[in-house]
Chain A
Amino acid sequence: MQVVVPEGHVWALLGILAVLAAGGVGCQTVDLPSMAVSPSGRFVPEEDERRLWNRAREVQDRIQRSGALYGDPALTEYLNTVARRMAPAFMAQADLSVEVRILKNPSLNAFTLPNGAIYIHSGLLARMENEAQLATLLGHEMAHVIHRHPVRHLRDLENKTGALATFGALVAPLAGGFGPLLYAVGALGMAAAVTGYAQEMETEADREGLAMMMTAGYDPQEATKLFLYLKEWVQEEKKPEPFFFSSHPRLAERIESYQALLGGLPPAPPRSPPPRVGEEEFRARTHGLLLDNAEMDLYAGRFLQARRSLHAVLARRPRDARAHYSLAESYRRQGGTEERVEAFRFYQAAIALDAGFADPHRGLGVLYHQEGKAAEAARALERYLELAPEAVDRAHVRSLLEEVRK
């Protein structure tokens, strides 16, 4: 039996289940106050919560070692600047690791570890349009942490079943990867229980996250737009894709929840400054990520998604040769007569913009070869080898050249 768990939740599961293994199973209160109302003024986590945070740090280390992080320090710092702008002061005092990291992954996903570390997949970031939409996501995720949803969720699970005592044995296979762990969780029928928060927690995160983004000056109208936009993407996919609110019904819940919250907002006071949307800066900062993520979409065969991102790049930078090249690749890889015409057009545009760019010549050569235009194919492939003599596929290209020269 294969258990389908949204990919982002795998890391969160790791932390939660590891704490279960460490003990502390018993009937405990789930009704915990928010970090904001700590009587001492400085939040001190409870014992099981502390263990949860410690394990989360170990998970962070594993993610760091895995090579899955997207390496753009400037963009990562920008995301953290937005997060810091929104995070209440007590979060920093509570020894939480409130930090945002990007994972190289084209799927629509994000997750937060119990210690406040937020991971956003490049695919999700690439589909956002502005800073206010980013703030919506960050607000929602931070609200889960502030309201201590991970430990509440954990205790709720512990209280619901005595079977959790067996989790100690089940967590043992963790060292070898996630497969055995997920199998074990699924076998106990726990997968659904541990892959998403209860509806009231999600609604609380919507409400509190929205308040946080508004306090930070962001336009709350962008919250619903983000989810509507994401829903479109998910529907275009036509089949379930890992998604940070687990599934389509959860996404629909978020849209309804935000619409209800926005409907209850008082009108903005007259002469108040317009709320921040932050499209210009967001687009400028995510330029490279859009290109990189579009490349991943190309590999995954999600041509429409790749082209959307690439057209968004070209809308800002119409002379970007790499975006033209990737567009050409999307059409060539997709195949078809009309697509081939488009591929030719974008390869030629890429070459016109950057004559020293080798890859479009290769693409052209392959297309000419497919069309039986030997002389044109030979010219393009020769040019590719001139520009990239050490290319990893040079032997293939030489072989193709020999073929077209015959």
Chain B
Amino acid sequence: MRGARWGLLLLGVVLVGGVPLGCAPFELVGGTARLPEYGFDVTLPSGWYRAMRAEDMLLITRDGILLQHIRIQRVAVEAELKHTKRKFGATMSPLEVAEVELDEHRSDAGLADFTVEENAPAVVGGRRGFKLVYSARTKDGLRLKRAHYGFVDGKWVYRLIYQAAARHYFEKDLATFEQVRESFKLLGSAA
């Protein structure tokens, strides 16, 4: 009986709190982070928080995910993409990979007024890749802007994306993102 009461109390805490016990949604980060599950290590800025429940990516923010964040993820080359039926190819040039990425993001029905500002070659983690800068409006009318680096490495396409509200926030942490991008290194890479 007593056990049942404690059980109910625990359930109440979970329901009211809305947070599963034993897993904080955010953790403070800073310094070098080694992520063997994603195949890279990277230096993260101090004072930022990592969203621990983000699936299949490293997601960090300082002011809140909706306002600004940096995410690093890798997608299997043969994976089906979310918004376009196009696929990556292991032998694609950076220009072609950038084109598929742009098609993927501008086919997102949640974004409107998609505008590409820059599409250039770039080196990320010692690999030939691309840099995209684009902006779009969300369904709520918020204009967001992204700086998006990427490259192909074997069977993976890597994405390093900085997203922020175009006004005020984007410029604020762009330099921090560039530092993160410069620190990015594939594990097992000599580069």
Across the two chains, which residue of chain A brings its CB closest to B81? A301
Asked if A66 contacts B120 (CB within 8 A), the reply is no
Query: Which of B98, B139, B140 counts the most A-chain CB atoms under 10 A from its CB?
Result: B139
In Å, the complex CA distance between A176 and B112 comes to 17
B85 / chain A contacts, CB cutoff of 8 Å? 300-302
Asked if B109 contacts A66 (CB within 8 A), the reply is no
Q: Is A313 an interface residue, CB under 8 A from the partner?
A: no
Across the two chains, which residue of chain A brings its CB closest to B104? A299
Asked if A393 contacts B84 (CB within 8 A), the reply is no
Min C-beta distance of A135 to chain B, whole Å: 27
Q: Binary interface profile of A, 302-320, with partner B (CB < 8 Å = 1, else 0)? A: 1000000000000000000
Q: Given contacts A177-B140, A298-B103, A393-B119, list 7 more A-B pairs with CB under 8 A.
A: A62-B141, A67-B141, A300-B84, A366-B95, A396-B94, A396-B98, A396-B121
Asked if B112 contacts A104 (CB within 8 A), the reply is yes
| With contact pairs A66-B141, A67-B113, A299-B103 given, residues A392 and B86 touching in the complex (Cβ less than 8 Å) | no
Which residues A363-406 have CB closer than 8 A to chain B? 366, 392-393, 395-396, 399-400
Asked if A395 contacts B83 (CB within 8 A), the reply is no
Which residues A97-120 have CB closer than 8 A to chain B? 104-105, 107
In Å, the complex CA distance between A393 and B84 comes to 21
Asked if A107 contacts B141 (CB within 8 A), the reply is no
| With contact pairs A66-B138, A178-B139, A396-B95 given, residues A296 and B112 touching in the complex (Cβ less than 8 Å) | no
Q: Which residues of A contact B (CB under 8 A)?
A: 7, 62, 65-68, 104-105, 107, 176-178, 296, 298-302, 333, 366, 392-393, 395-396, 399-400
Asked if A7 contacts B117 (CB within 8 A), the reply is no
How many residues of chain B get a CB closer than 8 Å to chain A's CBs?
A: 30
A105 / chain B contacts, CB cutoff of 8 Å? 109
Q: Binary interface profile of B, 99-112, with partner A (CB < 8 Å = 1, else 0)? A: 10011001101001
Can you give 20 A-B contacts (C-beta < 8 A)? A62-B141, A66-B112, A66-B138, A66-B141, A67-B112, A177-B138, A177-B139, A296-B107, A298-B103, A299-B107, A300-B85, A300-B107, A301-B85, A392-B116, A393-B95, A393-B120, A395-B121, A396-B98, A400-B93, A400-B95
Q: Is B118 an interface residue, CB under 8 A from the partner?
A: yes
Q: Among the listed B84, B86, B112, which residue makes an inter-chain contact with A68, where contact means beta carbons less than 8 Å apart?
A: B112
Q: Which residues of B contact A (CB under 8 A)?
A: 66, 83-86, 93-96, 98-99, 102-103, 106-107, 109, 112-113, 116-121, 130, 137-141
A298 / chain B contacts, CB cutoff of 8 Å? 103
Asked if B137 contacts A67 (CB within 8 A), the reply is yes
| With contact pairs A62-B141, A67-B112, A301-B103 given, residues A396 and B117 touching in the complex (Cβ less than 8 Å) | no
In Å, the complex CA distance between A62 and B137 comes to 12
Min C-beta distance of A11 to chain B, whole Å: 9
Q: Among the listed A62, A66, A392, A400, which residue makes an inter-chain contact with B117, where contact means beta carbons less than 8 Å apart?
A: A392
In Å, the complex CA distance between A338 and B118 comes to 32
Asked if A301 contacts B84 (CB within 8 A), the reply is yes
Min C-beta distance of A324 to chain B, whole Å: 19
Asked if A301 contacts B86 (CB within 8 A), the reply is yes
Min C-beta distance of A341 to chain B, whole Å: 19
In Å, the complex CA distance between A107 and B110 comes to 13
In Å, the complex CA distance between A62 and B98 comes to 32
Asked if A65 contacts B119 (CB within 8 A), the reply is no
In Å, the complex CA distance between A366 and B95 comes to 9
Asked if A396 contacts B86 (CB within 8 A), the reply is no
Across the two chains, which residue of chain A brings its CB closest to B137? A67
In Å, the complex CA distance between A7 and B106 comes to 17
B117 / chain A contacts, CB cutoff of 8 Å? 392
